[in-house]
A = this chain, B = another copy of it.
Amino acid sequence: MAAYNRSMSIPLRELQFDLFDVLGLQHMWPEGPELAPAVLEAAAHIAANSFAPQAAKADIEEPQWVDGRVVLPAETAAAQRALAEAGFLGTAFPPEYGGSGLPFTLSQACGSIFAAANVGFYSYSLLTQGAANLLLHFASDTQRAAWVPAMLAGRVFGTMCLSEPHAGSSLADISTLATRRDDGRYLLRGRKMWISGGEHELGENIVHLVLARTPDAPPGVKGISLFLVPRFTDSAARRSNGVSLVGLNHKMGWRAHVNTALAFGDAEPCVGELIGELHQGLNYMFLMMNEARVTVGLSAAAIGFAGYQYSLAYARERRQGRSLAARSSVAQIPIVEHADVKRMLLAQKAWVEGALDLVLYCARLVDELRLPTQATSVDAGLLLDFLTPIAKSWPAEYALEANKLAIQVAGGAGYTRDLPLERLYRDNRLNHIHEGAYGIHGLDLLGRKVAMQEGAAFVLWQDRLQQSERAAESFVDLRTEADGLSAARRKAVQVTAELVATLKSGQAELALANATLYLDAIGIITVAWRWLERARTAATRLSTLPVEHADHEFYRGKLAACRYFYRYELPRAMNALEFLATLDDTLLRTDSREL
């Protein structure tokens, strides 16, 4: 079992292939090929020592609420310290705040290693990075100086407080109130739900970023402002600031992380500071959401990857059955040789490697946004906006399915808690729910993203796919795939035009009724594009590689997974697009009383 545990990490070989061979990160980070291996190695070392071995224990010993305090397994704090001390909180942050100023893409690659090892532990870092990033963009100089360096050092943790008991997907309905005091600060009062990392003693303080309304604010999302609310008004003295724990949420998975319900200003006054301008709260959140949502996709892909690696190791070792032709006197063979087991492993490989590449591609767009070239930045921003619902949802769907297959590969053993597969499956089920439920992202993509700026983002998406199709044409082995992508792209363009026309004709309900299916279809085509890029890269490498080179199998594996994806997965997208074109009204005409 020890061997399996080691093999659960995402192979550094895979990450380097993706970062440099596929995504060409060296073009914006020339020292990358030289520096990245050591950084990834360091992350893998911490993950293997402080994250992975504690994952099963932390799943069992979930956070407890004892005498008003949140009690976590002791290993939680040690893991956070190890990660922070090695500088992994600030990998992609500016040096003036204590960061390393390295690409966001590299930071995400490291993140995938931590998430694969123990996503619950890693979530404390993720949330803190997200909150620090938001402060970096929208807070005042004073606020930034006060909090960001402490957060990147791992002394102060961060949260995002959006949902309320009656307002989850419907953020327009939040009712937490922020009343201005004479000193310019605000008194907050209200309840927040599903707050990850909402209360713990891992650091000296917690910074809550809270969405709330001022009394005179307009209704709906336009009246929401963002506030900075520290857990303690004074970190050293641990003077409480009226944020109280209402309860812990006990989940199916993700149990290594504390999830809370919080009350602000319930028993004692709670004081916060406005971040940026009034009524811009949701805008700020959404501007940050792209990165947060990409990290959800990243976590999903990473958890799926861990399951794939584990089930692959299991399948190579477990002997059961024989080839169809063999007699029963022949010894049993490793199950990896059975066609159906190969199918389950190839599917996992195609899904999780494709998902990981997709989120790293998006991370690379974030890095492009930071480049000085104005033209590139606009394109990168638009494309990132377009890809965000896909990068969040596609991994959430398919990496979960990968975990389902990983259990199946291991059979009865996979269903037990002796193996980590069932835990990974439980953990991954969350990713379709937090940071916007699946259905919300479908509405976002079809209702907003495809048509925004007169379809400019969608055109960019088409351009990128077309470039890949052309580049792949010169590879005989990839011609079928290039043609397949081209056909899918053209179908997507045609059906999208019909749906957008319907939307603009005033039949929004009809146009959007199957938006989730649309998101799935565009997601499949997007990942098919990524696989064509990956396969073309592998084919290029193979063409110059000596036959006896050890990397042959690695590259041939990319071609195999690409072939699998185009034959088993892409047709589903065509099928869904054909259905979408019919503007089927089954959902709308079904009266809810008939359910």
Contact = CB atoms under 8 A, between A and B. Distances in A.
Interface of A: 163, 166-170, 172-173, 193-194, 219-221, 249-253, 312, 316, 319-325, 327-329, 332, 334, 336-343, 345-346, 349, 404, 407-408, 411-412, 414-418, 422, 425-426, 429-430, 432-434, 437-439, 442-443, 508-509, 512-516, 553-554, 556-557, 560, 563-564, 567-568, 571-572, 575, 578-579, 582, 584, 586-595
Contact of A509 (B316, B324, B587): B324
- Number of copies of this protein chain within its complex: 2
Nearest to A555: B594
Contacts of A512: 324, 339
A557 B251 contact: no
A594 B252 contact: no
A571 B567 contact: no
Contacts of A414: 433
Given A320-B170, A429-B425, A584-B567, A342 B590 contact: yes
Contacts of A412: 163, 168, 193-194, 249, 433-434
Contact of A594 (B404, B553, B572): B553
B567 A316 contact: no
A242 B77 CA distance: 49
A170 B332 contact: yes
A442 B340 contact: yes
Contacts of A430: 415
24 contacts: A169-B320, A170-B320, A249-B412, A251-B417, A252-B415, A339-B509, A339-B512, A339-B513, A339-B587, A341-B439, A342-B590, A343-B513, A343-B587, A408-B432, A408-B437, A422-B426, A425-B429, A553-B594, A560-B586, A560-B589, A564-B590, A567-B579, A571-B575, A575-B575
Nearest to A513: B339
B169 A321 contact: yes
Contact of A593 (B172, B553, B586): B553
A341 B481 CA distance: 35
Contacts of A408: 432-433, 437-438
Contacts of A250: 416-418
A592 B316 contact: yes
Nearest to A340: B439
A140 to B, nearest CB: 30
A342 B404 CA distance: 25
Prevailing SS type, chain A contact patch: helix
B433 A411 contact: yes
Contacts of A337: 592
A342 B334 CA distance: 44
Considering the complex of A and B, which 5 residue pairs feature the smallest CB-CB distances, nearest first? A220-B328, A340-B439, A252-B422, A557-B594, A339-B513
Contact of A343 (B514, B564, B592): B514
A248 to B, nearest CB: 10
Contacts of A429: 404, 407, 415, 422, 425
Nearest to A331: B173
A595 B416 contact: no
Contacts of A433: 407-408, 411-412, 414-415
B425 A437 contact: no
B324 A251 contact: no
Which of A342, A345, A594 has the most chain B CB within a 10 Å cutoff? A594
Contacts of A342: 587, 590, 592, 595
A433 B219 CA distance: 52
A368 B322 CA distance: 37
Contacts of A515: 340
A251 to B, nearest CB: 5
A555 B335 CA distance: 47
A311 to B, nearest CB: 10
A528 B30 CA distance: 58
A340 B516 contact: yes
A404 B416 CA distance: 19
Nearest to A220: B328
Contacts of A343: 513-514, 516, 587
Contacts of A422: 251-252, 426, 429
Given A252-B425, A341-B439, A553 B416 contact: no
A443 B341 CA distance: 13
A166 B412 CA distance: 12
Nearest to A563: B586
Given A332-B170, A512-B324, A591 B425 contact: no
Contact of A590 (B253, B554, B560): B560
A252 B328 CA distance: 33
Contacts of A349: 595
A579 B572 CA distance: 11
A226 to B, nearest CB: 19
A334 B508 CA distance: 19
A486 to B, nearest CB: 19
A442 B320 CA distance: 17
Contact of A587 (B346, B416, B434, B593): B346
